[in-house]
Amino acid sequence: MALLTDDNAVLVQIVGAVLERSEQDMKDVLVVVDMQKDFINGALGTKEAEAIVDYVVETIKSFDGEVIFTRDTHAQNYLETQEGKNLPVLHCIKGTDGWQLDKKLECLKTDAMKIFDKPTFGCMALAEYLKAQEGLECVTLIGLCTDICVISNALLIKAALPEIEIRVIEKCCAGVTPQSHKNALEAMKMCQVKII
């Protein structure tokens, strides 16, 4: 190989710096879906949901990127809504204890972390926020419930950002039942969501 001239050497340095910079600008996002008391040990809690809390905490702590939370958020008229007619169990009523994030997650939350309060399963505002991010490389989802709000948001984000890799961490999710959790993972896999 021919020796680099001084000019070429400078060019190589510049290209290297630009590449390094663009790598730093690439952004990963972790979406923590509905890790609220009512879904863990409250009105709609399950032992499977309780069992994922520590994995979720570890994943947030070790994540290198932006962490975003969503909260299922209903008003007092919940039972009159479409969701309430299909699932007549009061849960995540704004301001109640059950609506709050689990204590272990609340401790991890910083002011810099965004929270999206969403009135239904999928969160349009979250998809729009992600769509507006430059250099987004990958969106990872974890939380509850695999078969309702995780799958809804994974597919919504997939629709908004078809060229972004969407991942779901299996052991950081739980469903309404273990079977519906598995079914949802299969459905997401078929829709090219990476299950890890």
Q: Which is nearer to Zn ion, 72 or 102 (CB)?
A: 72
* Shortest-Cβ-distance residue relative to Zn ion: 72
Residues numbered 91-110 forming contacts with Zn ion, rule: CB under 5 A:
none
Say if residues 112 and 54 touch (Cβ distance below 8 Å): no
Least Cβ distance, residue 33 to Zn ion (angstroms): 12
In the stretch 41-80, what mask flags binding to Zn ion with x, by CB under 5 A? -------------------------------x--------
Q: Which is nearer to Zn ion, 31 or 136 (CB)?
A: 31
Least Cβ distance, residue 91 to Zn ion (angstroms): 6
Counting residues that bind Zn ion (by CB under 5 A) gives 1
Least Cβ distance, residue 69 to Zn ion (angstroms): 15
Say if residues 33 and 142 touch (Cβ distance below 8 Å): yes
Residues that bind Zn ion (CB under 5 A): 72
